[in-house]
Structure 1
Amino acid sequence: MRIAFFSTKPYDRIWFEPMAKDYGYEIYFIELPFSEETVFLAKGYDAVCIFVNDHVNAQMIDTLHEMGVKALLLRSAGYNHVDTRAAKGKVAVLRVPSYSPEAVAEFAMAMLLTVNRFTHKAYGRTREFNMNINGLMGTDLYHKVAGVIGTGKIGQAMIRIFHGFRMNVLAYDPYPNSNLDVQYVSLEELLSKADFLSLHCPLTPDTHHIINEKTISIMKDGAYLVNTSRGGLIDTQALINGLLAKKFGGVGLDVYEEEEGLFYEDCSDEIIQDDNLARLTTFPNVLITSHMGFFTVEAMQSIAHETLENAYALENNLTLKNLVE
């Protein structure tokens, strides 16, 4: 099998190159993102491998189908960046549903702890021998109420972590899991009671802007919000308005709804044109990272293995357990 691998970063090669040789596959690594302008590079390949910020529309699906490309291999669990309806019957869309739930959940907790206890600011101060701790006061997590929206594998890992801090955990999911040691409540009740809120749901039409002006108004004053899932879960302008109104104790964002073209790139020498993102960076109680919650050795190995297993299943007419339908 020949695979065109888009949005390549140096760390992708570390695992994909040796594993591809073990499978006997040829991978053509392309640094460019997958787009209408670069889709032609997939000609002559059996599959295209893409990442979360590579958006695939119906026209691109038709082009891939005409070129004989059999599959879109997603290096992600989410698939909201692909027109899966257009792909049906033309190109198989295969995802990586579970690579390391703990990686994302642990990072979400790290963000929450950081923005709560201002460790990032303390680090900057002490490097300049400013040992003043004024303005760095946080709050205990012990016995506080934690809210988890979305109880899939990452949400479940987050619940376990919150329990480890002896927090009272509430969860919301339209499809409750009766096997979990957690109290399910309505979204409104969770928002009104949670001191610390973590988002772990996929981006769908139902969850788009699940955090908006209305839901923010329901939240506790001084609540903490962390999003390591998808940027589109939060209405950015509503979040900014809430921050200006001093609604939040702190906010941690590993994702952003307009992150395409910015996240994963070095833009340090550029003037950022996104006014909302620039505004968010000015708030002292906001921590932003570049969609790196998944980024651990274990997760990267798992992503590479599962992606190539998807290709192997397709090539050998095996059951496509990770097919997006």
Structure 2
Amino acid sequence: MFRQHHAALTGDMTYSEPSCITVYGCGPDEAALFRELAPRFGVTPVITDAPVSEANADLASGSRSISVGHKTSIANSALLALGRAGVTYMSTRSIGCNHIDVEYADSVGITVGNVSYSPDSVADFTLMQMLMAVRDAKSIVRSADVHDYRLNEVRGRELRDLTVGVIGTGRIGTAVVDRLRGFGCRILAHDNHPKAPAEYVSLDELLQQSDMVTLHAPLTPDTYHLLDRQRIEQMKQGALVVNTGRGALIDTEALVSALESGRLGGAALDVVEGEEGIFYADCRRRPVESKSLLRLQELPNVLISPHTAYYTDHALRDTVENSLTNCLKFENGSQHG
């Protein structure tokens, strides 16, 4: 069963026996934080920058709990090997867990938990993308880089004159709504559990009325290609799309077609379908296999960033702290579903 944790590290938590936690897919900045924080809880971290796999599952021998990154999908064969190595809990250092087959993990005795981190990181980045999109910032900066300082052919718009549709109002979506209120725009929202200070409407109505749509829904079988060809056709002529959620929330082929035809006015994408193996890698000297990503980057009205909205010092510290906390709470039988 997938148990979602929103724990925060507290200084008064004590544990009677030292714990060993294996940390997979750990970059240098995360590793430094794990080494700083783990001793406070009597934890000995075994750290590797390699993503978890069947081949390195034995690194977790002696660890009932492990921490994994979100950048690489975890194969079922790796989950089986981890279960055989004695792992019973896996904390993914992300809000989403679409890179893990949670049901299969449960079948081999591994509970999967996510972490919370500062929603402000993604919310701030989302607002930046919105402002860049409505001011056609990509074209302006590219022109200035080649010393063309004429006014841009496309006049910018002001957020206060627009209707912005927010799909998904969890912690991040709600933080985006809070920021948008300061700009004075009309805010529409769609979520099965309304809780943000916005005008909630059906998804169809949101798409038909919004000048800009921003996606903050989790990726599930129900939300896969949430914006498909049919729903994109429902959107206002010239509308903008912002996605800092998950790439597969959008049917990329349909998006490219709508952008090329002028049906949509632009997009700002921090996540892209098929980004795995491309984002977080240095691709300057090797070909990028994703034709849709290459086409999106060619378009003058599309902003692409490499899944970096979450990446702030505050959020990264939250992620490491809460991954440690969740592992220790599970081992002590105090986790909450």
Provide TM-score, normalisation by structure 2.
0.89
The CA distance in 2 between the partners of 1:8 and 1:47, in whole Å, is: 15
**TM-aligned CA distance change 1:174 to 1:195, over 3 Å:** same
Aligned match of 1:143 in 129, 138, 161? Answer: 161
**TM-aligned CA distance change 1:127 to 1:54, over 3 Å:** closer
The CA distance in 2 between the partners of 1:144 and 1:241, in whole Å, is: 24
- Number of the residue aligned with 1:62: 80
**TM-aligned CA distance change 1:136 to 1:17, over 3 Å:** farther
Alpha-carbon distance, 1:103 to partner: 1.1
The 5 A counterparts of 1:37-76 are 37-76=55-94
Aligned match of 1:154 in 158, 161, 172? Answer: 172
Aligned length: 318
Alpha-carbon distance, 1:202 to partner: 0.2
1:92 and 2:108 aligned: no
1:254 and 2:237 aligned: no
- Post-superposition Cα deviations, 1:173-214, rounded to whole Å, max 9, x if no partner, equal 12223xx32111110000000001100000011100001100
The CA distance in 2 between the partners of 1:283 and 1:124, in whole Å, is: 12
- Post-superposition Cα deviations, 1:2-46, rounded to whole Å, max 9, x if no partner, equal 222222222212322200122222222222222344434433433
Alpha-carbon distance, 1:119 to partner: 2.9
* Equivalent AA in structure 2 for residue 170 of structure 1: L
Aligned match of 2:41 in 13, 19, 23? Answer: 23
The CA distance in 1 between the partners of 2:172 and 2:136, in whole Å, is: 25
* Equivalent AA in structure 2 for residue 46 of structure 1: R
- Post-superposition Cα deviations, 1:247-284, rounded to whole Å, max 9, x if no partner, equal 22210110112111111111111111111111111110
**TM-aligned CA distance change 1:287 to 1:38, over 3 Å:** farther
**Paired residues of 2:168 and 2:191 also in contact (CA < 8 A):** yes
Residue aligned with 2:256, SS: helix
The CA distance in 1 between the partners of 2:299 and 2:230, in whole Å, is: 22
- Post-superposition Cα deviations, 1:94-118, rounded to whole Å, max 9, x if no partner, equal 211x311111111011111112213
**Paired residues of 1:172 and 1:186 also in contact (CA < 8 A):** yes
The CA distance in 2 between the partners of 1:304 and 1:94, in whole Å, is: 13
Residue aligned with 1:142, SS: helix
**Paired residues of 2:138 and 2:300 also in contact (CA < 8 A):** no
**TM-aligned CA distance change 1:248 to 1:36, over 3 Å:** farther
**Paired residues of 2:54 and 2:79 also in contact (CA < 8 A):** no
Deviates further, 15-24 or 279-288: 15-24
Deviates further, 22-31 or 218-227: 22-31
**Paired residues of 1:4 and 1:48 also in contact (CA < 8 A):** yes
**TM-aligned CA distance change 1:194 to 1:261, over 3 Å:** same
Alpha-carbon distance, 1:51 to partner: 1.7
Please list every run of at least 4 consecutive aligned residues from structure 1 whose deviation after the TM superposition is greater than 4 angstroms. Answer: none
**Paired residues of 2:95 and 2:114 also in contact (CA < 8 A):** yes
**Paired residues of 1:35 and 1:55 also in contact (CA < 8 A):** no
Deviates further, 282-291 or 267-276: 267-276
The 5 A counterparts of 1:156-305 are 156-177=174-195, 180-305=196-321
Deviates further, 30-39 or 76-85: 30-39
The CA distance in 1 between the partners of 2:253 and 2:59, in whole Å, is: 37
Residue aligned with 1:32, SS: coil
Deviates further, 50-59 or 283-292: 50-59
* Equivalent AA in structure 2 for residue 86 of structure 1: Y
The CA distance in 2 between the partners of 1:218 and 1:128, in whole Å, is: 38
- Post-superposition Cα deviations, 1:122-172, rounded to whole Å, max 9, x if no partner, equal 334334432112325221211311100001111101111111110101111
Provide TM-score, normalisation by structure 1.
0.92
Aligned match of 2:130 in 90, 109, 112? Answer: 112
Q: CA RMSD in A?
A: 1.7
Q: Which runs of 5+ in 1 are unaligned?
A: none
Residue aligned with 1:54, SS: coil
